Homo-oligomer: A and B are copies of this chain.
Amino acid sequence: MDNDDFRRGKPTCHKVFGENIAILAGDALLTEAFVLLSHVEKVRLSAERRLAVIQEIAQAAGICGMVGGQALDVLSGKSVSDEGTLYEIHRRKTGALIVAAVKSGAIIFNARKDKIQALAEYGINVGLAFQIADDILNVEGDRELMGKETGSDAAHNKLTYPSLLGLDLAKEKLTNYIDAAVASLSGFDERARPLLVIASYIMERKS
């Protein structure tokens, strides 16, 4: 939908196979997730918890999550200029699926409600941080490392944290969200280390 020609140095699906096949690839991947999740033979997990994971992922992918966030993004276009809408777009587009990913692991292993809530907070903060880092890289990233054109957001007049707040304030936001993500893991032991590493990676990534 952003009509970009490259992703991570490779031509995008619609460039190689055409728009129809690209649309169907998205439909197929969305749907196959539920084929896999409902395949009771493949993974041992109670039907109740399996259903809870399906619900978590379906909600995060659908209207209240990724698809709804993308629609909000498309509809708001260039006319929106408030941080509330930008937050809502990113929370749904990027945050919701990351939240679902960390929550699903916790649901599968029957974690306590407060632990699941803490992981959800980690996910939403990491998701927003990831999106802001992405927007910052689109302004000042290295085209070679990124494997795609930079500056496309500005060229398309797209609303982003850097375009709304300027680079310095956007970087401050990024740091705040990463700090919040790390803080939400305070009640966990060293087994939460991979999540901390992911949070650091988002701050440091160059592509």
Q: Do A28 and B63 have beta carbons less than 8 Å apart?
A: yes
DSSP majority for the A interface? helix
> Which residues in window 30-48 of A have CB below 8 A to B?
30-32, 34-35, 37-40, 46-48
Chain B residues contacting A20 (CB-CB under 8 Å) are: 1, 74
CB nearest to A34 among chain B residues: B58
**CA of A110 to CA of B61, assembled, Å:** 30
Does A151 touch B at the CB level, under 8 Å?
no
Does A51 touch B at the CB level, under 8 Å?
yes
Does A154 touch B at the CB level, under 8 Å?
no
Given contacts A54-B54, A74-B20, contact A67 B27 (CB under 8 A): yes
Given contacts A34-B34, A51-B38, contact A28 B62 (CB under 8 A): yes
Q: Do A62 and B31 have beta carbons less than 8 Å apart?
A: yes
Q: Of B35, B38, B51, B58, which one neighbours A40 at CB under 8 angstroms?
A: B51
Does A155 touch B at the CB level, under 8 Å?
no
Q: Of B28, B48, B54, which one neighbours A67 at CB under 8 angstroms?
A: B28
Q: Do B28 and A68 have beta carbons less than 8 Å apart?
A: yes
Among A20, A26, A38, A52, the one with the most B-chain Cβ atoms within 10 Å of its Cβ is A38
Among A34, A54, A75, the one with the most B-chain Cβ atoms within 10 Å of its Cβ is A34
CB nearest to A28 among chain B residues: B67
Chain B residues contacting A52 (CB-CB under 8 Å) are: 38
Does A59 touch B at the CB level, under 8 Å?
yes
Residues of A within 8 A of B (CB): 1, 18, 20-21, 23-24, 26-28, 30-32, 34-35, 37-40, 46-48, 50-52, 54-55, 58-59, 61-63, 67-68, 70-71, 74-75
